Structure 1
Amino acid sequence: MQINDLFNILHNSLESQNNGKKISLKDMASNFGISMRTYQDWKLGRAKPQAAATVMQMLGKLDDDEIIRAVRKINALEG
């Protein structure tokens, strides 16, 4: 699996969570504090952010309940 596949899965999951409403690349990038071009490059596989790939691999090793716990902790840090 390529990093762009992971970004596409997550992007689609966020849209599904948003009642199927499309989320533009610009809006998604803005939500994460990056440029639209950077996000687009990640989604298309033109750039492969190593940190993101490592985070995805780490998440892939967790069971569902532990992923939920980890995400809740991350969200709590974000305030």
Structure 2
Amino acid sequence: MQINDLFNILHNSIEAKNNGKKISLKDMADSLGIPMRTYQDWKLARAKPQAAITVMQMLGRLEDEEIIRTVRKINKLKD
């Protein structure tokens, strides 16, 4: 699996959570606080953000329940 596959899965999952409403690359990038071109490059595998790869590898070592707890803790940090 490539990093762009992961970004596409995550993007699609967020759209599904939004009742299937499409989210533009620009809107997603804006919500993440990054340039649209950067996000586009990630989704198209023109760039491979090492930090994102590492985060995904770390999450991959956790069981489902642990991933949920971890993501909830991360979400609390941004408040």
Give the TM-score range, shorter chain: over 0.9
Is 1:68 the equivalent of 2:68?
yes
Report the RMSD for the aligned CA atoms in angstroms. 0.5
Query: What is the TM-score normalised by the length of structure 2?
Result: 0.98
Cα offset, 1:76, TM superposition: 0.7
CA distance in 1, matches of 2:8, 2:62: 20
Aligned residues: 79
Cα offset, 1:60, TM superposition: 1.1
CA distance in 1, matches of 2:28, 2:62: 25
Q: Which amino acid in structure 2 is aligned with residue 23 of structure 1?
A: I
Cα offset, 1:17, TM superposition: 0.4
What percent identity do the matched residue pairs reach?
80
Tell me the secondary structure at the aligned position of residue 68 of structure 1.
helix
Q: Which amino acid in structure 1 is aligned with residue 68 of structure 2?
A: I
Cα offset, 1:61, TM superposition: 1.2
Q: Deviation per CA, 1:12-70, whole angstroms, max 9, x where unpaired?
A: 00000000000000000000100000000000000000000000111111111000100
Gaps of 5+ in 1: none
Partner of 1:44: 44
Gaps of 5+ in 2: none
Query: What is the TM-score normalised by the length of structure 1?
Result: 0.98
CA distance in 2, matches of 1:23, 1:58: 27
Partner of 2:2: 2
CA distance in 1, matches of 2:8, 2:59: 16
Partner of 2:22: 22
CA distance in 1, matches of 2:60, 2:18: 23
